[in-house]
Chains A and B, each alone.
Chain A
Amino acid sequence: MYYTGTKIECENYDKLVTIGEDYRGSTLNWADVVTHKDGSRFAILKHEDYDCNMQLIELTSEWYD
């Protein structure tokens, strides 16, 4: 499942998880922000241990080309 929101909201969710998980070595962050092919919508993969109030969606093929 993915959270969808503004680009900044998605980036902040990534920061939330990344800080909480304290990654080391080659690992730098939790997930990349996904941009809808129309450029106007954004999403990020949900981490099972981190909830937030963004909308949950399934990422369908309409998101990418």
Chain B
Amino acid sequence: MIITNQNIIGSLQRGVSSAPSFVGLLDTYSGAAVAYSLRKLKDGYAGACIEVRRSLDNTTLNVGFVNNVLDVAAMSAFVGGGNKDNGFVSKWYDQGGNNKDMVSSTASRQPKIVADGVLLLENGKPILTSDGSTSGMTSDYIADSGISAKGLFIVTKRNSSTNQCILGSYSDGNNINYVFDSGSTSTSVNLNVAVTSQKLNGSAWVYSNRSDVYTDLIGQSIISANAVYSFGTNTADALSLGYRYTSPVNFEMTNMQELVIFENQTDQAAKETAINSFYNAY
């Protein structure tokens, strides 16, 4: 064999081990209908994470990922670090591949991610933070379309407001997607969605009314549940954060770090463990 520079280099290249590639939640578990997070959930996802509006001049920036988490450096540089610099999330991109982005097109209702120049964090991770009054977002995803049996995975925290709803609808007050947290006189929680196998931070979670929910969601909460929807496919039922997107004074969204809805109910415990391995909520 004639030794040349080429076959020496070829041997060296074959011997070099490449860095392990990123494996996201959606690489391991398929079937996501919608997937919103402030971390990257799928290796092949090439889009942005969020669209941020800065209070300085209301311009916006699509913020992506660095090392598979939100590029907070780019976002903070854009928003600014002054005591009147606020960053609001106007769009939360769907990483599930179905383009069902969460949007909040009304400025006063957009959740904050930077407040007075400071990145908002929960347990060391960025978090979309409601304003305690009217924050909400909406998508055009309708849970009762396609496969009605879903697996829900939510990383959230309620704030001090007594009127919050984790997943609501676009405009229909008779149907919500998941869980009221409220101090109102009504005690109903899930409307026209049958929920089973519900867990909060790894333990079975049972509640009977809104007061229970209000008490239980005081801290960072990883919620998982199986849900079967039965309220039709009207656009009024489109998935929203907060109760009714078109009725903003009623029940605002909770603070959110992640929401994934699978069109299956498999591997609930394993998915929850995988999510907690990132957030360390419990």
Contacts and interface: CB of A to CB of B under 8 A. Distances in A.
Interface of A: 21-32, 34, 45, 47, 59, 61, 63-65
Interface string B53-70: 100011110000000000
A45 B108 contact: yes
B91 interface: yes
Contacts of A22: 57-58
A26 B90 contact: yes
Interface stretch (B1-9, B15-23, B99-107, B119-127): B99-107
Contact of B107 (A23, A34, A61, A65): A23
Contacts of B249: 34, 59, 63-64
Contacts of A59: 249
A4 to B, nearest CB: 12
B210 to A, nearest CB: 14
A29 B51 CA distance: 16
Interface of B: 51, 53, 57-60, 90-91, 103-110, 134, 173, 184, 246-250
A64 B184 CA distance: 11
Contacts, number: 60
A24 B91 CA distance: 12
B106 A31 contact: yes
Given A21-B58, A24-B60, A64-B250, A30 B51 contact: no
A63 B133 CA distance: 14
B108 A26 contact: no
Given A24-B59, A26-B104, A27-B105, 5 more contacts: A26-B103, A27-B90, A31-B107, A31-B108, A59-B249
B60 A27 contact: yes
Contacts of A21: 58, 107
A22 B57 CA distance: 8
6 contacts: A23-B53, A24-B58, A28-B105, A32-B106, A34-B248, A64-B250
A28 B106 contact: yes
A25 B108 CA distance: 15
Contacts of B109: 31-32
Contacts of B134: 45
Contacts of A47: 108
- In this complex, which of B59, B105, B184, B249 has the most chain A Cβ atoms within 10 angstroms of its Cβ? B249
Nearest to A44: B108
B107 A25 contact: no
B172 to A, nearest CB: 13
A30 B248 contact: no
